[in-house]
Structure 1
Amino acid sequence: MKKAFQFKAIATFVIAFLISATAMAQGGKVPASPRETVTGSINGANITIDYGSPAAKGRKIYGELVPYGKMWRAGANEATKFTTDKEITVEGKKLPAGSYSVFVTLTDKDAVVTFNSQVGQWGIKGGGIANEDPTKDVIAVTVKTKSAPMAERLKYVISSKGFELVWDTISIPVSIK
């Protein structure tokens, strides 16, 4: 009887240990495209950009993973969300206070950055098409792209002059006043 009790106690301990070890191992995984948030202030407006940050992982990004001439979600997974608490001027165009999804259409020299009033949607539909309703576009601005040092992960950077989307060896600078 005493041996049966000891056996049950040891078996319970071993099972508990294995379950906790498995749970701890699962908790350490980093998603392939973790959500990131960057905040800043530009001329008194508080800006927040919430986006999925994919990694290049040796892939050719521009012209292949992100095709030229095709709108993309400017991040991974859910569409990138841009929020401003005050009206701002983006590349000379007024953008009212609020939250917007950001989409980008690239060529090999420039980018069209579109601010769309629909937020919270998954960034792509079937077939890899951007999940953007053109009837909800608020503004679209064209900017020149720039060369940048290699960035393995897509990131947004906010400065006093605006923001930049930086990934691979390309920067997409957008001025804000």
Structure 2
Amino acid sequence: MNLKKALLTLTLVAFAAITSYSQEKPSPAMTAEGAVGDAKITVNYSSPAVKGRVIWGDLVPLGQVWRAGANEATTFTTTKDIMVQGKKLPAGTYSFFIIPGEYESTFIFNKVAKQWGAFNYDAKEDQLRVSVPSQQTSSMQERLKYEVANNKLAIMWEYGKAEATLAPSM
């Protein structure tokens, strides 16, 4: 009888291990890359899923600083100076935050690149803040997604999208 219990226990433990190993991470690390002129742009972020939740205005409150992803703060790196919404952003790596709004959001590039979430966010360390249009979309984006393409930095999640215009520095 002890052998049967041991085999049953071993089987259950193995099943649990296989099941947990095969499950998708809740907020996998992702990277979006692109170019603006000669500058290489890299956005590193953790990509949470909607999972049936209301995101904008509920999970992510409007009008408050948000870490723009999950886990560590999202980072934005540019290898050369660029223009974001017509304002200069020097080359470097920044933590990237957003103050989401229904029709307009604020993209924030903060000089303290390594932060956990927005818990220690300090506006005095902001390198650049820009207002960008935000909108509702008709297509559902289950996972948070960034794109750097066609001289735009876009963030999409659930039914929301915000994007900034990027250009080579003058």
Q: TM-score band (shorter)?
A: 0.7 to 0.9
Cα gap change, 1:137/1:24 in structure 2, threshold over 3 Å: closer, same or farther? Answer: same
Partner amino acid, structure 1, of 2:132: V
In the TM superposition, residue 60 of structure 1 has moved relative to its aligned partner by 1.1
In the TM superposition, residue 25 of structure 1 has moved relative to its aligned partner by 3.8
In the TM superposition, residue 37 of structure 1 has moved relative to its aligned partner by 0.7
For the 8 Å contact 1:74–1:103, the answer to whether it is kept is: yes
User: 1:35 and 2:24 equivalent?
Assistant: no
User: 1:115 and 2:109 equivalent?
Assistant: yes
Structure 2 unaligned segments of length 5 or more: list them. 1-6
In the TM superposition, residue 22 of structure 1 has moved relative to its aligned partner by 5.4
Q: Which residue of 1 aligns with 2:160?
A: 170
Once residues 123 and 30 of structure 1 are traced to their aligned partners in structure 2, the CA distance between those partners, rounded to angstroms, is 21
For the 8 Å contact 1:83–1:99, the answer to whether it is kept is: yes
Partner amino acid, structure 2, of 1:84: T
For the 8 Å contact 1:52–1:78, the answer to whether it is kept is: yes
Q: TM-score, normalised by structure 2?
A: 0.86
Once residues 56 and 121 of structure 1 are traced to their aligned partners in structure 2, the CA distance between those partners, rounded to angstroms, is 23
Alignment of 1:68-87 (within 5 A): 68-87=62-81
Most deviating of 22-31 and 58-67: 22-31
Once residues 140 and 54 of structure 1 are traced to their aligned partners in structure 2, the CA distance between those partners, rounded to angstroms, is 24
Moved over 2 A (4+): 13-27
Q: Which residue of 1 aligns with 2:4?
A: none
Q: Which residue of 1 aligns with 2:123?
A: 134
Once residues 16 and 43 of structure 1 are traced to their aligned partners in structure 2, the CA distance between those partners, rounded to angstroms, is 58
Cα gap change, 1:19/1:57 in structure 2, threshold over 3 Å: closer, same or farther? Answer: closer
In the TM superposition, residue 28 of structure 1 has moved relative to its aligned partner by 1.7
For the 8 Å contact 2:30–2:45, the answer to whether it is kept is: yes
Q: TM-score, normalised by structure 1?
A: 0.83
User: 1:48 and 2:38 equivalent?
Assistant: no
> Which of 1 and 2 has greater Rg?
1
Greater relative CO, 1 or 2 (CA 8 Å, sep 6+):
2
For the 8 Å contact 1:43–1:160, the answer to whether it is kept is: no
Secondary structure in 1 matching 2:162: strand
RMSD value, Cα: 2.3
